[in-house]
Amino acid sequence: MRYVLARIKQYQRDNAYRDYLSECLRMMSGNTAKFAGGEYMTITFTDYIHPQPIIKEEKTAEEIAMDITTALGLKVVQKGGEK
């Protein structure tokens, strides 16, 4: 059991080091690219190898418009009649 725990701890240390090193390299290349006017990687290595699932909301256009108007405190007024 101690062997398994030691391997897990070593695995976590190795991953932390890889994350740190990849972030350092990403920052260095980003700074160089900004200086030279080039492009650089905007996503982290961890996000690249373990992407988060994208949660889609199924809303109609009317529901989205209503959410926005409610959030902004707007009132919808229609000309020519009431609905």
Query: Structure pTM?
Result: 0.52
Answer yes or no: are the C-beta atoms of 34 and 7 closer than 8 Å: no
**DSSP sequence for 12-76:** HHHHHHHHHHHHHHHHHHHHHHHHHT-----S-HHHHHSPPPPPPP---HHHHHHHHHHHHT---
- 7-36: pLDDT as tens digits: 999 999 999 999 999 999 989 988 888 888
Q: What is the pLDDT of residue 6?
A: 96
Domain positions in the chain are 2-54
